[in-house]
Amino acid sequence: MRTVLLTLGRLPKALDLARAFHAAGWRVVVAEPFKRHLAGASNTVARSVQVTAPATDREAYLRDLLRVVEEDAVDLVVPVSEEVVHVAALHGRLPARTRLFAMPQDAVLAAHDKGSFAAQSAAWGLSVPRTHPLGSEQAAALAAEQDVVVKPLHACSGRGVRLIARGAALPPAEPDAPAIVQARVLGIERSTCSLVHDGLVSGTVVYQGVMQSGSVSIAFERVQDPLIEAFVRDYAAATRWTGFLSFDFMLDGRGQPFAIECNPRTTSGLHFFEVEDLARAVIDPAHPLRHRASPRLQQFYSCLTETQLSLFRGGGFLPKLRALVTTPDVTWSARDPMPFLTMTFTTWPIIRAAMAQRATFGEVATLDVGWRAEHALSAASGAP
């Protein structure tokens, strides 16, 4: 029996992948900095291993993963979320038998860095908003001309994003916290999730949020957008991408999509793929990747919280309640019920951090595995 290593277990996306590989006949091992986690409650996971968080010690994290690869004779390593930027450094360090479903680290970093992604895409003629480094003359000129968005280079889930009105002062540039200034596009926001092999897209989901918790979508619907799908194909081909690949877009008043950032990993759009196809599509580029029948999905417990809060905020309680009881949850499975039933227990470390920081679940869920400015500086200098 072949073995797959998933490098995060706390998110519903990991659960989809675990179920998919188990159904395909693989043994599933999960490496996770948390002692308990969502996928760990699944009957599809053979073993969970607690590893060092990359935010604590990046090199120790990689050594831990290599140890798991050796102990479990891992055939395939599949990154799940933001930890992909660290895991990509395993290229060239894995045994010959082990495949890593991700690009080399320099390619992942080029996509993850909001400034380099925008510059790279613009050079290829792809549609992105004007983007300049915070502190540059070009950024100041752009902010004087129109509304802009200031974003940290490596943030996700809306962390650190600031909206600046035309003519207002930009925040000072901080060398230890680099950021970009981007032209603000007003309109509908859409996101994607794709699975790609050597520049060829096996499948893409385009979706948009229908309920938010802070800046993070907790209920979403799949939509059709040929222009966005064309952008994904063009970017994947230009980079000869292999792995999961996702983008966030803003649509202007004419419906023209502008890619505002790239996420070189899975997103919540992964849930719209048929679970039984996911593992086979990772293994075999020719395997078709179908969409689930339901065009709407939700994260039940997060949506329950927002529905309850709407009673006190005046935010449309009855429509939210109807959506809550009629929309499929992304984690529920009658064959594998424990992840859904024990979710409050298994996700308590994230819930506790969210309460302590007065932030949303999505904003704190990956803080210990994300790529921060100090990681970028150490990578650039060649430090471990």
Q: Are residues 81 and 193 in the same domain?
A: no
Q: Are residues 75 and 207 in the same domain?
A: no
**C-alpha torsion angle, residues 51, 52, 54, 57 (rounded to 10):** -150
Residue 384: pLDDT band with limits 50, 70, 90: very low
pLDDT (tens digit per residue) in 261-303: 999 999 999 999 999 999 999 999 999 999 999 999 999 988 8
Q: Are residues 66 and 142 in the same domain?
A: no
Query: Can you tell me the distance from the alpha carbon of 59 to that of 54, in angstroms, rounded to the nearest whole number?
Result: 7
Which of 331, 330, 325 has its CA nearest to residue 307? 325
Q: Are residues 94 and 142 in the same domain?
A: no
Q: Are residues 196 and 154 in the same domain?
A: no
Q: Are residues 208 and 350 in the same domain?
A: yes
Q: Are residues 253 and 202 in the same domain?
A: yes
Establish if 284 belongs to a structural domain.
yes
Mean pLDDT, the chain, integer: 92
Q: Are residues 174 and 98 in the same domain?
A: no
Establish if 348 belongs to a structural domain.
yes
Establish if 79 belongs to a structural domain.
yes
Residue 34: pLDDT band with limits 50, 70, 90: very high
Residue 215: give the domain boundaries: 189-355
Q: Are 79 and 220 in contact (CB under 8 A)?
A: no
Give yes or no for residue 383 having a pLDDT over 50: no
Global pTM value: 0.92
Q: Are residues 265 and 345 in the same domain?
A: yes
Q: Are residues 243 and 274 in the same domain?
A: yes
pLDDT (tens digit per residue) in 100-137: 999 999 999 999 999 999 999 999 999 999 999 999 99
Domain containing residue 300: CATH number: 3.30.470
Give the DSSP letter of residue 291: B
Q: Are residues 214 and 139 in the same domain?
A: no
How many domains are contained in the chain? 3
Name the E strands within the chain: 3-6, 27-32, 47-50, 76-78, 99-100, 131-133, 148-152, 162-164, 179-183, 189-197, 200-213, 216-223, 243-251, 257-263, 296-298
Q: Are residues 149 and 55 in the same domain?
A: no
